[in-house]
Amino acid sequence: MEYGFIARALQVMIASPGDVDQKRQSVREEIVNFNGMHSEKEKIVLLPVGWETHSYPETGADAQTILNKQIVSKCDLLVGIFGTKVGTRTENALSGTIEEINKHINAGKPAMIYFSTELVPRNTDQDQLKKLENFKKEMQLNKGEFKALYKDFNSTDDFRNKFRNDLYRMVVLSEYFNESKISNLSEKELIEELKSNKGEKEEKKISEEAKELIAEAYRTDSEIHNFKTMEGQIIQAGDKGFTPVNPRNDAYYVEAINELESKGYIRSLNSKRQVFKLTREGYKYGDENFVN
């Protein structure tokens, strides 16, 4: 008995300042509706992504840079929604939302931008409203940080209806996503292809000890030495020694040499198997994994 279907998963980033929570929720609900109505036929599943659900604490950079790395860079489509504010300025843009849109568009990915024309509450931050109006005007004139075709909405229901139709057109009918649709192969053929690709990746997996050895040999363009002394097993690559430490550690690195040899990444230069040199496949592995 067969279950489910093969589909491509697309991550949809919801980008907005903090004054359009209802619209953000509408995007999530319409994505669920899209999946229920179209996923099986179109072989596409949409995954809503937002900072509130997909970010996690991290150090080493400012908050927006971390969000860009954790979330924005991994998304396929971005939905930008503006109400009465642009949001908080970042080091690189007028606001975090605008920086997210910039990053996404500059990566060559599509974005759908929406602006509210709803009645503005009296307590609205006028400075934020002015910045938003200027930003929208720049977009109308094709000036500023990015150029785009956008849509206005006058209520949450109006936004939901427009977004529902636009989402279908973007994901199902647009040239961008049509080019990357799942092929017309049968599901059985696709499963076999996926298994084959997974098998190739599994073949390239090596233990951490093997990775350390080949990394050092690759980076220093040196041989791997393996020999016994009165002090114990000596395994060295370049100027770095990996043993002796203790019997367990030494056994791991001896096995790492066997592992690299069995995968064709190194070959022995003498009958005593004391000196090993990277093979063509070994250098290829290094090129794929250790070049910044």
Percentage with pLDDT > 70 across the chain: 88
Identify the H or E element spanning 47.
strand 44-49
Query: pLDDT digits over 16-28, tens only?
Result: 999 999 999 999 9
| Token pair recorded at residue 224 | 């791997």
Preceding amide of 244 cis, omega within 30: yes
Q: How far is CA 194 from CA 1, 45, 190, in A?
A: 19, 17, 6
Q: How far is CA 197 from CA 181, 194, 207, 262, 263, in A?
A: 18, 5, 20, 20, 17
| Token pair recorded at residue 5 | 């279907």
Q: Higher model confidence: residue 196 or residue 70?
A: 70
Q: Higher model confidence: residue 204 or residue 169?
A: 169
The one-letter amino acid code at 9 reads A
The pTM (predicted TM-score) of the whole model is 0.63
Question: Quick check: 238 and 217 in contact, CB under 8 A?
Answer: yes
Cα separation, 58 vs 254, whole angstroms: 37
The strand pairing partners of 150, in sequence order, are: 113
Conformation bin of residue 4: beta by default, left when phi > 0, alpha when psi is -120 to 50? left
Ranges 85-89, 106-110, 201-205: which has the least confidence: 201-205
User: Quick one: which of 127, 147, 18, 39 has its CA closest to 83?
Assistant: 18
Question: Quick check: 281 and 275 in contact, CB under 8 A?
Answer: no
The one-letter amino acid code at 90 reads T
Conformation bin of residue 71: beta by default, left when phi > 0, alpha when psi is -120 to 50? alpha
DSSP 8-state code for residue 90: -
DSSP 8-state code for residue 222: -
Q: What mean pLDDT comes out for the span 151-176?
A: 95
Cα separation, 83 vs 125, whole angstroms: 12
Cα separation, 230 vs 285, whole angstroms: 34
Average predicted confidence (pLDDT) for the chain: 87
Domains of the chain with CATH codes: 8-195 (3.40.50), 206-289 (1.10.10)
